[in-house]
Structure 1
Amino acid sequence: MPVIKIETYIAADIQVVFNLSQSIDLHLVSASQTNEKAIAGKTTGLIGLGESVTWQARHFGINQRLSIVIAEFEEPYYFADEMTKGAFAAMRHEHTFKQIGDKVLMTDVFKYKSPLGILGKLADVLFLERYMRKFLMKRNRVLKEIAEDPNKYKKILPLYSGRIT
């Protein structure tokens, strides 16, 4: 099972980074290259414990759907989403946040299991793990850029004054 770990330092308040990470709207901006859409469940705003979203996107030239649920949630330090339906055999994405001075260390741990047995493992080695790492790194670059600029994050989190619901 591939495990992708990405650490990103962001010069922002932990609450802003946490809220942007759980924002459906931020995800849509960061995944624009795949024409991602939230089509069921929570489709806008902040997703929380027990809530789900179904994403539709184009990956590898194929329209795909992925449904996830927020399985664990400890604001503003941690949440985990897990696939309930989709192309992977299994998928879990853990998001951890730690305030270090004037920066937040945001750590993503993305674990997945490819379908199709040995063919899935071959796909991991040849392209899938690299593709998923690049996808997650782009998301983090966009999140960092927005979190570090109040004019930008207030557009994504328009009611920002601490916790947004």
Structure 2
Amino acid sequence: MKVYKKETVQHVNATLEECWAFFSSPSNLQKITPETMGFQITDFDNQSMYAGQIIQYKVSPLLGLKISWTTEISQVKDKSYFIDEQRFGPYSFWHHKHFFEATPTGVKMTDIVHYALPLGFLGRLMNALIVKNKLKEIFDYRCIKVDQLFNSK
């Protein structure tokens, strides 16, 4: 199984508390996800983020095909980091770390995703042709939306 890595870093003009409050709330995920993904939370307990929390979604990453995706918030350190891991969904492995670090001018936000695709050679081919670019598109969109929400004030 080939494991890929996607890392992004963005500066957010907000306090650590403001940044954490927004990004640790699963209900805000739709606000920073491209509409073309058809992202919809289908089950969520409306609680503040905690280790063990299960969140279920529907997404349409390609050709309008709906895919169910279940993630678990596996670790949380208040105002520092959280990790979400796929339990069921399109990837054979998905591990997404979100780090938040106060800086003199706001917050340095770092996302590190490790992922793998099923189907061996076909999965590697799909990553090269589609998935890698789709993830770049999603994180580029997220960067633009975060800039609009926090950095254009």
Taking every aligned residue pair, what percent have the same amino acid on both sides? 17
1:90 aligns with 2:93: yes
Aligned partners of 1:144, 1:96: CA distance in 2, in Å? 17
Aligned partners of 1:149, 1:48: CA distance in 2, in Å? 30
Which runs of 5 or more structure 2 residues have no equivalent in the other structure?
A: none
* TM-score normalized with structure 2 length: 0.89
SS at match of 1:59: coil
- Structure 1 stretches of 4+ moved >6 Å: none
Aligned partners of 2:108, 2:144: CA distance in 1, in Å? 13
Which runs of 5 or more structure 1 residues have no equivalent in the other structure?
A: 151-165
Aligned partners of 1:138, 1:64: CA distance in 2, in Å? 20
> Do 2:38 and 2:61's aligned partners in 1 also have CA atoms closer than 8 Å?
no
Instruction: Give CA deviations for 1:29-49 in whole Å, capped at 9, x if unaligned.
Output: 22233221110233x464322
Instruction: Give CA deviations for 1:65-119 in whole Å, capped at 9, x if unaligned.
Output: 1100111110101110000000100101000011110221000001110111110
Q: How many residues align?
A: 149
Alpha-carbon RMSD across the aligned residues, in angstroms, is 1.7
* TM-score normalized with structure 1 length: 0.83
Which of 77, 80, 84 is the matching residue for 1:77? 80
Aligned partners of 2:87, 2:128: CA distance in 1, in Å? 24
Which of 64, 68, 72 is the matching residue for 2:67? 64
2:21 maps to amino acid: N
1:105 aligns with 2:102: no
